Structure 1
Amino acid sequence: MTTQRACGGRQFGHRARLALTPAQVLLMDGQAHAARTMWNLLHDWWTMLPRDRRSLAAADAAIRQARKEIDWLAHLPAQAAQAVLKTYFQAWRNCWEGRAGAPGFKARFRTVMSVDIPQGRDLCITRVHRRWGMVNIPKIGRVRFRWTKDLPVGKHANAQNRITGARLVKDALGWHIAFRIQTLEPEPEPHTGPEAGIDVGVTVPLALSDGTTYDHHPWLTGKEQAKLLRLEQRAAHRKSLRKPGERTSHRLRTTYDQIAGIRARAKRRHLDWQHKATTAIAAKYSVVVVEDLNITNMVKSAKGTVEMPGKNIAQKSGLNRAISGEAWGRAIAMLTYKTARQGGTLHKVPAPGTSRRCSMCGVTTPGSRESQAVFVCKNPDCGWVGNADHNGARNILHLYRMGLALIPAAGRAVVRRARRVKPATAR
């Protein structure tokens, strides 16, 4: 006898690399600059008008008039222009509700170039063979993209499983397309795997309580690191020759683009490793426990002030770069949704004391953490010696089993609302 599981809707994105010809790259750049300029014109129009004349209909009429009067704004498809308008209004709504600051102008060289395709039916996606697919981009034509994930297209697409739209984004490695996918998936069954605590670090990125470690090699090869150093030195030299107020030269901007390309390659490799590691952890363990770290405070500068200057500034700067490079917050965010998809859960426990407590005897003694990798318990009745990262991971799991898991932010809000409700009194 089989039981039918309930299904739930899921929305996610999938990013793929585009293979554009040089002519198509120029057209895409033109559309992206037109979208950025339309945002700036819309922002200028919005801030100059009185408040009583600001409305969505008036903004839509202004955009239509601008597309008629300015020829190169028509390079942007009409639906993409409407998407700019909706995004601008959503930015103001986020500002009014306290989720973000007020929107401003988008600079030419500091803004991510992007174009939105709001309707999925315009894409007309087909699969060419195992590695490549074809997608239709308005006013560009048919473009090849890297096929790395099965998409709900053709006979596999329906009202519940379909592509609702896409967004074209340009980074240091070229143009990419990010599909917006809506699917209907069965609710996962409860995970029956073991529990695990995870200690994040710099030397060992992920250390688990059962002794498992997830490590990685440097993201750049020796030649790539040497090339990055040469480019950074060249950029610093060319920047020193620039006069105050002078515009950045094309040579310096080209050097900046080369540096950004190498760093983007390292970030892509890091993302690939994080996805693989977190997927393996979510598939194996039913309960994943991590520390509730305030990473923003951990990477603050140690310079101090003029009255109270900091100490070991260079060492702290190197540690801050190492912590930021490991992207602990991104790994925890990946584990959060991946464990939920596998039927497991992720919990956070208080961070203080997890690295100094002995997981064998439970006693915290000064000087037990002799080095970054070795933990030696100074308790005369214990004397346990082991790996410091695994010791911290076991302490993290112990806090969860003792019932010291923190309530998530949404759960705390529910608890606060429940406490404010007064019980009904009998009349």
Structure 2
Amino acid sequence: MKRQSRHRARLSLPAALCARVDEQAHAARAMWNLLHAWWQMMPKEKRTLANADAAIRQARKDIDFLGALPAQAAQAVLKTYFQAWKNCWEGRADAPKFKTRLRTVMAVDVPQGQHLNIVRVHRRWGMVNLPKVGRVRFRWTKELPVGRRANRDNRITGARLVKDDLGWHISFRVQTHETEPEAHQGPEVGIDVGIAVPLALSDGGKFEHGAWLTDREQSKLLRLERRSAALQQHRKRGGKASKRLQYVYDQIARLRAKAKRRRQDWQHKTTTTIARTYGTVVVEALQITNMAKSAKGTIDRPGKNVAQKAGLNRSIHSEAWGRMVDMLGYKLAQHGGTLVKVPAPGTSQRCSMCGVTTPGSRESQAVFVCKNPDCGWSGNADHNAGRNVLHLYRIGLVAIPAAGRRSRQARERVQPATVR
């Protein structure tokens, strides 16, 4: 089977080349805005791909700074814009909008993979050819199908340049031909996600992590946030930020981007370990948007414990449970495993031994003591929730169709309740 994947690597760009790539990204954003303006002005019968192509070709001749964008990258902007409208008409996304300068991610497409000419020059570095930029270095962290390894089935079909707060990165689009994996023979496991214990497994295992920033980095972040608050007092309402304030903003953004990169690294390593170990992974179908709603309330009915709820919401977003589940889905599919989602309500309050929910059974964040007089079981609260999650799958209460090679078998599987 053919598999489409992406591999992101950090670029090493000198200041001059970095400014050149910045020009291309701004030109790509301007091209999108011009296409959107053209779309709104033209009547419906003239909104065709051919007319739009002629319009952007003429714009590249009339507007000088659009010439910084390679012709193939301009065609990629055109195709992306029309695909955005198609997604809107089919109900998968909202209508396209103008892209602002400050809130838009700077990116440039390189649609032709054969023009990249990727070569590995060092154990840690490789070279890639970028249109209108030249040969640049990128961090080599994964084997790529280049040189003798490249063929019709295994090759790089394109790339995309993306800029974040840590600099420019290149995301390669990799196409590989792989044999369909056999069914994973590993055991079943239920996973309960949380704040104190990020991942608690039904078999008693758990995956934890420390703070994403060191003590020194956290102190620096706090100092920068206080500095930005002091500088904002001298900023006029609605006015532009000063260069000093913008420099502080950039430092804060770099620290937060560093924490995000470390979190993603931990998630990738953890999900890979789980996918290799277990054949069926059961998780809760969490409504994260509803869980992270603000507690401010309204003027008539103000909320309670607003500051505490705001801190909890930040912790929920910091754990990125949705991204974790997505990683588990595609990695389990690669290893022949199955990802199943079950209803979330009641898994933390129900006793995994007797199946009865009694008020006050969860005495603390870490301790669960069943208040049922006929049971009285006690144990770790997070592992108890993981056992309940697995039990819901075993009795057939699947909330969302499973993802993976054996998804159909997992949806159809219904077993009687058993004592675990």
Shorter-chain TM-score range:
over 0.9
The residue aligned with 1:421 is none
CA distance in 1: counterparts of 2:356 and 2:84, whole angstroms: 51
The equivalent of 1:291 in structure 2 is 284
The residue number in structure 1 matching 2:299 is 306
Supply the distance in 2 between the matched residues of 1:358 and 1:245 (Cα, whole angstroms). 55
Aligned with residue 318 of structure 1, among 286, 311, 315: 311
Q: C-alpha separation between the residues in 2 aligned to 1:410 and 1:180?
A: 22
The worse-fitting range, judged by mean Cα deviation, of 282-291 and 361-370 is 361-370
The code of the aligned residue for 2:135 comes to R
Q: Which of 112, 125, 129 is the matching residue for 2:118?
A: 125
2:219 maps to 1:226: yes
Aligned to 1:134: 127
Question: How do 1:14-413 residues align onto structure 2 when only pairs under 5 Å count?
Answer: 14-408=7-401
SS class of match (2:178): strand
CA distance in 2, matches of 1:36, 1:234: 32
Report the CA distance shift for 1:410/1:216 in structure 2 as closer, same or farther (over 3 A): closer
Between the aligned partners of 2:308 and 2:179, the Cα distance in structure 1 is 50
Deviation at 1:407, TM superposition (A): 4.0
Structure-1 separation of matches of 2:238 and 2:122: 52
Alpha-carbon distance in 1 for matches of 2:153, 2:186 = 31
TM-score by length of 2: 0.94
Q: CA deviation at 1:409?
A: 8.5
Whole-angstrom CA distance in 2 between matches of 1:410 and 1:389: 24
CA contact (8 A) 2:8 2:171 kept: yes
What per-residue deviation string (whole Å, max 9, x for no partner) do you get for residues 341-393 of structure 1? 11110111111111111112222221110000011111223222211000110
CA distance in 2, matches of 1:374, 1:221: 29
Residue type of the alignment partner of 2:54: A
- Separation in 1 of the partners of 2:91 and 2:389? 34
Q: Structure 2: how far apart are the matches of 1:290 and 1:246?
A: 47
Q: Which runs of 5+ in 2 are unaligned?
A: 409-420
How many residues are paired up?
405
Q: Could you tell me which amino acid in structure 2 is paired with residue 343 of structure 1?
A: G
Amino acid at match of 1:294: Q
RMSD value, Cα: 1.5
Identity %: 71
Q: Which moved more, 1:197-206 or 1:399-408?
A: 399-408
- Residue 144 of structure 1 aligns to which amino acid in structure 2? R
SS in 2 for 1:186: coil
Distance in 2 of aligned mates of 1:57 and 1:231? 51
Letter of the 1:270 counterpart: R
Report the Cα offset of residue 111 of structure 1. 1.0
SS in 2 for 1:103: coil
State the SS of the aligned residue for 2:162: strand
> For the residues of structure 2 that align with 1:65 and 1:362, how far apart are their CA atoms?
70
CA distance in 2, matches of 1:104, 1:11: 28
Paired residue for 1:422?
none
Deviates more, 1:304-313 or 1:247-256: 247-256
Counterpart residue number, 1:417 = none
Q: Distance in 2 between matches of 1:246 and 1:400?
A: 55
Distance 2:273 2:257 in 1: 24
User: Hey, what's the Cα distance between the residues in 2 that align with 1:184 and 1:212?
Assistant: 35
**Post-superposition CA distance 1:100-128 (Å, at most 9, x none):** 22212211121111100001011000111
Q: Which moved more, 1:239-248 or 1:19-28?
A: 239-248
- Mapped to 2, the partners of 1:53 and 1:93 lie a distance apart of 16
Q: Which runs of 5+ in 1 are unaligned?
A: 1-7, 415-427
CA-CA distance at 1:327 after TM superposition: 0.7
Q: Secondary structure at the match of 1:279?
A: helix
* Conserved 8 A contact 2:195-2:315: yes
CA distance in 1, matches of 2:374, 2:88: 59
Residue range with higher mean Cα deviation, 161-170 or 46-55: 46-55
Q: CA deviation at 1:410?
A: 9.5
Distance 1:129 1:186 in 2: 31
The amino acid across from 1:68 in the alignment is: K
